[in-house]
Amino acid sequence: MLIVQKYGGTSLQDIDRIHSAARRAASLAKQGSRVVVVVSAQGDSTDRMIQKAAQVNKRGAAREMDAYLAAGEQMSAGLMSMAIGAMGSPAVSLTGWQAGISTDGVHGNARIVDIDVSRIQRELDAGKAVVVAGFQGLDPAGDITTLGRGGSDTTAVALAAWLKADRCQIFTDVDGVYDRDPRLFPDATRFGRISYEKMLALIENGAQVLHDRSVEFARQYGIQIEVLSAFTGEPGTIVGGSEPF
Ligand code: ADP
Ligand code: ASP
Ligand code: MG
């Protein structure tokens, strides 16, 4: 069984949350699963980095912004890998490019065009959990790119597609996909399952719970995305799949 798990910023906000995500990944690895963990930058650090960059240069080049912003996810990856190690499971962190992720050259909103998964496969074969920094890749010029805000979801789904993963789990700070933002509308209702098309329509109307391109990849490659709470681990919402909706 190969499982891709993605943890968003809030789910990695502090050491307790990193430990709790690491514990979940390590326990799967100990049960014999091959585990790939995709991480976002911690908390609101990407927002803070964007503000800081603006203080340095209001119109900083997109290439340089990518070089800077990609570091947020890399810090999470190193920390998560060490946390999984602390749970007694061997782990290795990889940047997007070490993980073989190639993108086009659109800085700040790059598309994943190919993934050479050989390095990841080698690490999994060696019995390690693989932690991949989300939201980033390398363009044809060999420069660092980022995938657009929320793009770590797309890293996870694309890896699930290229690795032919059995499961793709997106852990976040709500317990699934609702018909409206559950933080703004307490009476919002949760979907047990939602089609790719409906999910894309929700995103178009502003639901940032999943990055739009992650759902497009999922539809293209027939990947079911599980959206669930990093805090409870209870089953959340399944996006896509073959059953009737
Ligand atoms: P992460 O850091 O895990 O990537 P995001 O902030 O990108 O998390 O996405 C989760 C947030 O999406 C939730 O906190 C919620 O407020 C918001 N959201 C907006 N619309 C919806 C919706 N229809 N269903 C669920 N969450 C939604
Ligand atoms: N850290 C990036 C962002 O805040 C990517 C992500 O979280 O998915 O947009
Ligand atoms: Mg997100």
Q: What is the pLDDT of residues 88-114, one digit of tens each?
A: 999 999 999 999 999 999 999 999 999
pLDDT surpassing 60 at residue 63: yes
Number of domains in the chain: 1
Ligand 1, residues 37, 45, 208, 215: which to mutate, most atoms within 8 A of Cβ? 208
Mean pLDDT of 10-32: 98
Parent domain of 6: 2-175
The answer to the question of residue 201 being in a domain is no
- Give a yes or no: residue 30 inside a domain: yes
pLDDT over 70 at 17, yes or no? yes
CATH of the domain at 120: 3.40.1160.10
Q: For 232-240, what is the mean pLDDT?
A: 93
pLDDT of 242 > 90? The answer is no
What's residue 241's pLDDT? 77
Give domain status of residue 44, yes or no: yes
Average pLDDT for residues 193-207, to the nearest whole number?
A: 97
CB burial class (10 A; 0-12, 13-18, 19+) of residue 241?
A: middle
Q: What percent of the chain has pLDDT over 90?
A: 96
Considering every ligand atom, which ligand is closest to the CA of 209?
1
**Mean pLDDT value across residues 5-20:** 98
pLDDT, average across residues 118-140: 98
Is residue 57 a part of any domain in this protein? yes
Asked, for residue 142, whether it belongs to a domain, the answer is yes
Average pLDDT, rounded, for the chain: 97
Instruction: Look at residue 243 in the predicted model and tell me its pLDDT.
Output: 55
- Examine residue 10 and state whether it is found in any structural domain, yes or no: yes
Kindly report the pTM of this predicted structure: 0.98
Burial call 29-51: b when 16+ CB within 10 Å, e when fewer: beeebbbbbbbbbbbebbeebee
Q: State what percent of residues in the chain have pLDDT above 70.
A: 98
Residue 245 — pLDDT band, cuts 50, 70, 90? low
Query: Does residue 213 lie within any of the structural domains?
Result: no
Ligand 1 pocket, residues with Cβ under 6 angstroms: 8-11, 40, 150, 172-174, 177-178, 180-183, 202, 207-209
> So what's the pLDDT on residue 233?
79
List the one residue out of 35, 171, 42 whose CA is nearest residue 90. 35
Q: How far is the CA of 58 from the centre of ligand 1 (A)?
A: 28
27 lies in some domain: yes
Between the CA of 126 and the centroid of ligand 3 the distance, in Å, is 31
